[in-house]
Amino acid sequence: IDFSAGGKTAAVAGETAAEDGTGVIYGEAGDIAVTPILNILKEKGPVTIKVGANAVELSTQGRAETVAEFSKDCSLD
């Protein structure tokens, strides 16, 4: 599972599966280092999450504020 934005990438080891019939993709990961992902989410512009051969672009709307608030309250890593 790869998070990317602004030429930076943060990879997370995990498992993925697609639901038959709907095409919904699920990802599961553990032991995640939060800081590299937050650094990607703080980038301006689109953030892409790639799971196997599938990719989705996250909205920029409200992302900066949400990440800033989470970072302030999060003591992980």
Q: Which domain holds residue 69?
A: 2-73
Instruction: Give the count of domains, the chain.
Output: 1
CA 51 to chain centre: 10
Note whether 49 and 3 are within 8 A (CB). Answer: yes
pLDDT digits (tens, 9 = 90+) for 5-64: 999 999 999 888 888 889 788 888 888 888 899 999 999 999 999 988 888 899 899 999
Closest CA to 15 of 28, 32, 25, 3: 28
Closest CA to 7 of 39, 53, 52, 34: 39
Matching residue, tokens 């892409």: 48
DSSP 58: E
Taking the model in full, what pTM does it have? 0.78
Instruction: State residue 24's pLDDT score.
Output: 84
